[in-house]
Amino acid sequence: MSKLVTIYGGSGFVGRYIARRMAKEGWRVRVAVRRPNEAMHVKPYGVPGQVEPVFCNIRDDASVAAVMQGADAVVNCVGVLNELGKNTFDAVQAEGAGRIARIAAEQGVQQLVHISALGADAESDSDYARSKAAGEAAVQGAFPAAVILRPSIIFGTEDQFFNRFASMTRMSPVLPIACGKTLFQPVYVDDVARAAVAGVLGQAEPGIYELGGPEVKSFAALMQEMLSVIHRRRLVLSLPRFVAGIVAFGFDVLQAASFQLIENKVLTRDQLKSLRRDNVVSEGAKGFADLGIEPELMGPILPDYLWKFRPSGQYDVMTASARNLKGDA
């Protein structure tokens, strides 16, 4: 019988790529999510019955243990960017991560891969970064042989980074951002998946791997590259720190005042704290090279999914070509 991997959060942005790759490796894939009916898109990744979404609440021991039964390997992709209800940073990224690792050790799981984040820091003033560091510590304490991956900002077809800012260009001639000088090392989502698969297959030594792409660019420079891809001219405005703080506070208050019915998807005060620190691979850290992976450049990939934000969408190139012909005439 083929081996089984349980992927917590396996229908999300990163998890779906890991699920697809594990199915191609011939493994059975159990995708553990809160809403299995919204995760049916993972089923075609394999032959009928090979990839199955199942219900799980990572805040509950019994739920985590039930979907891990019989698994040879476990991958934890669960994380939150904004606290909503009981899904706080600590509950999900610290306690949830530790719970998965502890139960994996109790059940004799052979391999554990944990997706953390570049910038995880127990001393950070950001609750998000602190909870990520606490999760890593809990994982290593319960499952010392775990492979922990710390990706920088992740890009890809379903990302909430380039897609989000590209959509904003449709509504305004100005593209406001916070901390425009902060450096990032964007990493392609499928490269992160390849690293996770290496961990599942036992091809990676235990420990922490910092994953960054081949290019280091400022937040503002990334926005300029995005604008060149979608053929739009916009003023990239890096807001002064105090202005960004006012914006973040306002949207946090709106979320609280609406009893979280309106989620702050613009900028939270905690996100602003994280944005003030560069998000690049540390010197001397283990990374893609240690996994035998050469990460992809952004240039060839961004147009594949950002074309829909061009003024004429998929016809934008033809429209520009027609303009040139008129000019020649």
What domains appear along the chain, each with residue ranges and CATH number?
Answer: 4-159+185-215+279-296 (3.40.50.720)
pLDDT band at 312 (very low <50, low <70, confident <90, very high): confident
Q: What is the pLDDT of residues 180-209, one digit of tens each?
A: 999 999 999 999 999 999 999 999 999 999
Q: Give 112: exposed, middle or buried? Use CB within 10 Å, 0-12, 13-18, 19+.
A: buried
Residue 83: per-residue pLDDT: 94
pLDDT band at 316 (very low <50, low <70, confident <90, very high): low
SS3 label, residue 60: coil
Asked if pLDDT for residue 26 goes beyond 80, the answer is yes
DSSP 72: S
Taking residues 218-225, what's their average pLDDT?
Answer: 98
Residue 235: per-residue pLDDT: 97
Asked if pLDDT for residue 13 goes beyond 80, the answer is yes
pLDDT band at 59 (very low <50, low <70, confident <90, very high): very high
Taking residues 109-121, what's their average pLDDT?
Answer: 97
Summary mean pLDDT of the chain: 95
E-only strand ranges, 185-240: 187-188, 207-211, 217-218, 235-239
For residues 159 and 222, the answer to whether their CB atoms sit within 8 Å is no
pLDDT band at 313 (very low <50, low <70, confident <90, very high): confident
Q: Alpha-carbon distance 55 to 222, whole Å?
A: 37
Residue 93: per-residue pLDDT: 97
Measured CA distances, 116 to 112, 196, 215, 268 (Å): 13, 11, 21, 20
Q: Alpha-carbon distance 19 to 37, whole Å?
A: 17
Asked if pLDDT for residue 326 goes beyond 80, the answer is no
Residue 317: per-residue pLDDT: 63
Q: How far is CA 273 from the centre of its chain?
A: 18
Q: What is the pLDDT of residues 139-187, one digit of tens each?
A: 999 999 999 999 999 999 999 999 999 999 999 999 999 999 999 999 9
Asked if pLDDT for residue 327 goes beyond 60, the answer is no
